[in-house]
Chain A
Amino acid sequence: MRPDVQEQVFSIIAREALRDPSELTPEMTLEELGLDSLGLVEVIFAIEETFDVSVPFNANEPSSAQFDISSVGAIVRAVEHLVTGASPSAAVA
């Protein structure tokens, strides 16, 4: 993982989950962090604004392979791929 991306994604998720970034680990799920569907949508918005990317996410298909939200680490990797311009389908490769 790119440290700068990880740090910023951790910071975004932690802010939304009302935690300190130091409490987060890559293995944690959003559910464990107590984020509901609105919290998730806010995280995605913050990621888009921070990294100037467009996140392919539809709340009706949260587990769709386009953008992996299964864990904090998966989100970091998906954002890394978006930032480096890889295609969305490669985000979970």
Chain B
Amino acid sequence: MRRVVISGAGTINALAEGVEATQAAMAQGRTGIGPLAFRDSERLSIRIGAQIHDFDATRRFSASQLALYDPFTQYALVAGEEAMAQAGLERAPDPARWGCIIGTAGGGHTTANNAYRAVFAEGKNRVHPFTVPKLMGNAAPSHLSIRFGLQGPSFAVATACASSNHAIGLAFQMVRSGMAEGMLAGGAEAMLNFGGLKAWEGLRVMSPDGCRPFSADRNGMVQGEGAGVFVIETLESAQARGALPLAEIAGFAMNSDASDVVMPSLDGAAAAIAGALDDAGMAPGEVGYINAHGTGTAANDRIETAAIRKTFGAAADNVPVSATKAMHGHCIGGTGAVELVACLMALRQGVIAPTINYATPDPDCDLDYVPNAARRAQVGAALSNAFAFGGLNAVLALRAI
């Protein structure tokens, strides 16, 4: 089978725009979580989030582009441009054999929110004519395909919090199998608006005061927004072009709990982790870092810990596990892509991002969570976990190259 690498990476999230600045923020243990600022946010009971504040879309896109780009599409394009530039590509080198897969849970959620406000709350009888092409979940991959001339398979995947990992994993499988020569893949989310937050509040899983993964005093998740996009191609094609491979995608597994729609399953999560290791031909002892799903909810962190223990056995005591959501928030459909940036930092720079806000050990969460401060370590292989509402799990396995 063909070896598949990441040859370009891009991101925008509440920590920073750009991979380098995001990794610097992660290494410093900074957080992008703070007070939410948007229309009607004073009517929320949950008023914090990892919101992107300093991004001026009008400086990046023309008025005619912005008429078509919901924020989630804008974020995907910003991240995609950074990734393509790093890979040394202006356009797809072999258009028919290059495509794009973007994970997103809400798609053009802000566009839908604004349109509903206009017709329901403000009594208007019309919305902007581009509302549909702007809000559709595939707007982000479509505009990436237009921007870079990707004429192969392009689509969006929606698996809630696992969307990014499903997108990257599918792109990996398509390149490995020869179905595509190269892919842009990742995730994008921009659900931080009044309607979006109201929906999340209702589920009663949000923290009113902060994201504290694996800490005994954790009390819920904090939502973020942003995107991560990666150029995925064969090792051979990256080398032929003189592009520097950032990491090898060695394995991927996805499965479904087929049980509860919101409660995670130990067996499902453990089987996905074991599946990714198996696909990569990777022994647990080889893994030097796990980027946890680590949402900061009572249930996820306890069950994810048990799933890692079940899969890794004795090796679980020696593997650093961190949850970077305390820094960039839970970017829902975009979160796995932003978290892959932390995996690249571990594999390339030997810096493991910390789990910040860790205060109190929880007997049910007894792994090495790299509490509060980044750590230097030689990391040869890493896993990235994603376990979605709906019971859909997707785990990526990467190797340093």
Q: Contact residues of A with B, CB < 8 Å?
A: 36-38, 41, 44-45, 54, 57-61
Contact: A44 with B204, CB < 8 Å? yes
Contact: B298 with A61, CB < 8 Å? yes
Contact: B297 with A54, CB < 8 Å? no
CA distance A57 to B201 in the complex (A): 10
Contact with A along B173-208 (1 / 0, CB 8 A): 000000000000000000000000000001111111
Q: Contact residues of B with A, CB < 8 Å?
A: 45, 202-208, 218-220, 260-263, 297-299
What residues of A have a CB within 8 angstroms of the CB of B298 in the complex? 59-61
CA distance A58 to B207 in the complex (A): 8
Contact: B220 with A58, CB < 8 Å? yes
What residues of B have a CB within 8 angstroms of the CB of A59 in the complex? 203-205, 220, 297-298
Contact: A58 with B45, CB < 8 Å? no
Knowing A37-B263, A38-B261, A54-B45 are in contact, say whether A60-B203 is a contact too (CB < 8 A): no
CA distance A38 to B261 in the complex (A): 9
Knowing A41-B204, A44-B204 are in contact, say whether A60-B218 is a contact too (CB < 8 A): yes
What residues of B have a CB within 8 angstroms of the CB of A57 in the complex? 204
Q: Which among B202, B205, B218, B220 is the interface contact of A45 at CB below 8 angstroms?
A: B202
The 5 closest A-B pairs by CB, nearest first: A60-B298, A59-B204, A60-B220, A60-B219, A61-B219
CB pairs A–B below 8 angstroms (22 shown): A38-B261, A38-B262, A41-B203, A41-B204, A44-B204, A45-B202, A54-B45, A58-B204, A58-B205, A58-B219, A58-B220, A59-B204, A59-B220, A59-B297, A59-B298, A60-B205, A60-B218, A60-B219, A60-B297, A60-B299, A61-B219, A61-B298
Name the prevailing secondary structure of the B interface residues: loop
Nearest A-chain residue to B296, judged by Cβ: A60
Name the prevailing secondary structure of the A interface residues: loop
Cβ of B317 to closest chain A Cβ, rounded Å: 27
Nearest A-chain residue to B217, judged by Cβ: A61
Nearest B-chain residue to A57, judged by Cβ: B204
What residues of B have a CB within 8 angstroms of the CB of A61 in the complex? 219, 298
Cβ of B40 to closest chain A Cβ, rounded Å: 16
What residues of A have a CB within 8 angstroms of the CB of B219 in the complex? 58, 60-61
CA distance A37 to B300 in the complex (A): 14
Known contacts A58-B205, A58-B207; 17 further A-B pairs (Cβ under 8 A): A36-B260, A37-B262, A38-B261, A41-B202, A54-B45, A57-B204, A58-B206, A58-B220, A59-B203, A59-B205, A59-B297, A59-B298, A60-B207, A60-B219, A60-B220, A60-B299, A61-B219
Cβ of A82 to closest chain B Cβ, rounded Å: 14
What residues of A have a CB within 8 angstroms of the CB of B202 in the complex? 41, 45
Nearest B-chain residue to A62, judged by Cβ: B298
Nearest A-chain residue to B297, judged by Cβ: A60
Nearest A-chain residue to B219, judged by Cβ: A60
CA distance A63 to B10 in the complex (A): 42
Cβ of A87 to closest chain B Cβ, rounded Å: 16
What residues of B have a CB within 8 angstroms of the CB of A36 in the complex? 260
Cβ of A76 to closest chain B Cβ, rounded Å: 20
CA distance A59 to B297 in the complex (A): 9
CA distance A61 to B219 in the complex (A): 6
CA distance A38 to B260 in the complex (A): 10
CA distance A59 to B201 in the complex (A): 11
CA distance A57 to B297 in the complex (A): 14
Cβ of B301 to closest chain A Cβ, rounded Å: 10
What residues of A have a CB within 8 angstroms of the CB of B45 in the complex? 54
Cβ of A53 to closest chain B Cβ, rounded Å: 13
